[in-house]
Homo-oligomer: A and B are copies of this chain.
Amino acid sequence: MSLLVTGTIGIDTIETPGGRAENVMGGSAAHFAFAAALVHPVRLVGVVGGDFPAEFQRHFHGRPIDTAGLEVRAASKTFSWHGRYHENMNHRDSLRTDLNVIAEAPPRIPDAFRDSQFVFLANTHPAIQRGFVEQLTGPSLVVCDTMDLWITSAREDLLAMLKQVHGIVLNDGEARMLSCHDDIFLAARTVLEMGPAFVVVKKGEFGSMLMMRDELVVLPAFPTQAVRDPTGAGDSFAGGMMACLAAENRLDMPTLKRALAYGACVASITIEDFSLDAIRRADAAEVQRRIERYREMLRI
């Protein structure tokens, strides 16, 4: 089934304890799209400025990423972010965030994309996420991400948006902040009561938790010690997860678990190099190899 992602496409500068990458491609929708495309074709909706490098445009070519929804505004500048990670790469400082074109009117979903069945609203202002949902003709599954900035600065918009989605993917800190509960189960249950049918809480190198009304599953991360840059881990996870769901076109528990496994395996590739370098080098066979190793690890 058709899979759509909306979100940011940007130019990142990233510092980690192990190195630095300057002016590389980043953004939530970019990370999602490259990860998902290893599993299932994906439609991309986003906006960049006239300064978006032609080289970055070419990175999309030859992959099942439909860029008909990638708008280029010649007079604007591309979203840009500079982050520095601590030794524990779950922690980072944003040294600079230039919204640029992201602060203008959001891109529109092309007519040809409005029938998309599986939709991921990567991180942006929740009012914009709602605007995207309203452009869809009847999606089967809409899942969103969010972040601390919107939880504190746009809470009402976020709560309204959560009534329009089927699922949310967020990390444990965000779940605690959004729910105002420190206990992670209570936090996830409180988010569930805000609207979505399922909540996925990610816990970095330890894994993820899927909570539904009557179901609770915890699955580990795919272990990798070769972490060079965790930027985009969450969006890659969502990309692998949503691509699996779109490919299988089912939402039963076995499929959801498999989707979490794809998320874990694809995200483990992303973080093994800066920016999109590792995920661009990877292929579907590498994802399958990791899925098999993951299955083997979980065979008790």
Residues of A near any B CB (own CB < 8 A): 86-89, 91, 176, 181-186, 189, 203, 205-207, 209, 216-221, 223, 225, 227, 254, 257-258, 261, 291, 294-295, 297-300
Contact = CB atoms under 8 A, between A and B. Distances in A.
B203 A300 contact: no
Contacts of A258: 300
A261 B221 CA distance: 16
Contact of A298 (B88, B203, B300): B300
B205 A207 contact: no
Contacts of A217: 223, 297
Nearest to A216: B223
23 contacts: A86-B182, A87-B181, A87-B183, A87-B186, A88-B183, A89-B183, A91-B182, A189-B225, A203-B206, A205-B218, A206-B218, A207-B218, A207-B220, A209-B223, A216-B225, A217-B297, A218-B221, A219-B297, A219-B300, A254-B299, A258-B300, A261-B300, A291-B300
Contacts of A261: 300
B219 A220 contact: yes
A218 B87 CA distance: 20
Nearest to A295: B300
A267 to B, nearest CB: 13
Nearest to A294: B300
B209 A218 contact: no
Nearest to A298: B298
Tell me the number of copies of this protein: 2
A184 B298 contact: no
Contacts of A298: 219, 298-300
Nearest to A210: B223
Contacts of A221: 218
A211 to B, nearest CB: 9
A225 B185 contact: yes
Most B-side CB within 10 Å, residue of A86, A218, A221, A223: A218
B223 A220 contact: no
Nearest to A261: B300
A26 B64 CA distance: 58
Given A87-B183, A206-B209, A219-B220, 19 more contacts: A86-B182, A88-B176, A184-B205, A189-B225, A203-B203, A206-B206, A206-B207, A207-B220, A216-B223, A216-B225, A218-B297, A219-B300, A220-B220, A257-B299, A257-B300, A258-B300, A291-B300, A295-B300, A298-B298
A164 B88 CA distance: 29
Nearest to A222: B218
Contacts of A295: 300
